[in-house]
Structure 1
Amino acid sequence: MPDVPPAVGWTILALVFLDEILLVVAAWVAADAWGGPFAGVAAALVVVALWATFASPRAPYGGRVARPVTKVLVVLAACGGLAASGHEGAAAALLAFSVVINALGLVPSVSRLPGEVAR
């Protein structure tokens, strides 16, 4: 695959971050619909904790297996909860966006950008 220009790569990484925020919001909305405001806040905090622990680039327990498995489980849970709470269109759009943008984030010239800045 050809290298992605850095400006495009950083845009993709910004959209990956936006996706993470949207997943937290989706979990919040879904849990709020089922269990009220407290459940919504709790679900959002659980997603943030899971992501920070297993899925983020600096996750203490992230790895070749834990990181992608956590990402898939969080995306499926957030989108499934959103669909179950009556937001089927938003769930489908978020699922499609999550799959596409995270696949683009795996392109080698995109995924190595943060490491190049750290040097």
Structure 2
Amino acid sequence: MRAFALTVLALVFLDELAAMAAFGVWGWQVGGDLRWLLAVLAPLGAMLTWFFLASPKARYGGGLVRPVAKVIVFGLASVALWSVGEHGWAAALLVGSVVVNTLAQTPPVLRVLRELETQDARRTT
């Protein structure tokens, strides 16, 4: 079960990277003369949102905030892809995000995640 849990956690990370890439694609496609700027700022805004609200160590990510932030980030990433005509990628990102984040809430994955957090806490003390 540990291999399953670690695989799911790796897929969650790849899913997060895919969402950031989606914002970059959107910025590039709609940015016009400012495409470089928007292709950088859109993912950066999503990363900051993730860092402060959705990551495991998010400063403001307690209670209901974390899952709502995740829904917003992945939802907007999918909408961004859809809006630039990447319908297949948008659907794949949305479905993949729902599946992998649902799997991440299963007991075996949560158990391994707690073990990893405990190991990390021991190393920092």
Structure 1 length normalisation: TM-score? 0.93
Point out 4+ residue stretches in structure 1 off by more than 3 angstroms.
none
Q: Quote how far apart the aligned CAs of 1:115 are.
A: 2.0
> Is 1:104 the counterpart of 2:100 in the alignment?
no
Give 5+ residue unaligned stretches, structure 1.
none
Residue of structure 2 aligned with 1:15, choices 11, 14, 35? 11
Following the alignment from structure 1 to structure 2, what is the Cα–Cα distance between the partners of residues 99 and 37? 30
Residue of structure 2 aligned with 1:29, choices 6, 11, 25? 25
Deviations 1:52-73 (A, max 9, x none): 1000000000012110000000
1:73 corresponding residue in structure 2: 72
Give 5+ residue unaligned stretches, structure 2.
120-125
Following the alignment from structure 1 to structure 2, what is the Cα–Cα distance between the partners of residues 16 and 75? 12
For residues 46-57 of structure 1, what are the structure 2 equivalents within 5 Å? 46-57=45-56
2:123 corresponding residue in structure 1: none
Q: Quote how far apart the aligned CAs of 1:112 are.
A: 2.7
SS across alignment from 1:21:
helix
Q: Quote how far apart the aligned CAs of 1:86 are.
A: 1.1
Counterpart residue type for residue 19 of structure 1: D
- Identical residues among aligned pairs (%): 42
Deviations 1:72-103 (A, max 9, x none): 00011110010101101100011110000000
Q: Which stretch has the larger CA shift, 108-117 or 29-38?
A: 108-117
1:6 corresponding residue in structure 2: 2
Q: Quote how far apart the aligned CAs of 1:37 are.
A: 1.8
User: Root-mean-square deviation (CA), in Å?
Assistant: 0.9
Higher helix share: 2
Which has more radius of gyration? 2
Structure 2 length normalisation: TM-score? 0.88
Deviations 1:7-39 (A, max 9, x none): 011000000000000000001101211111210
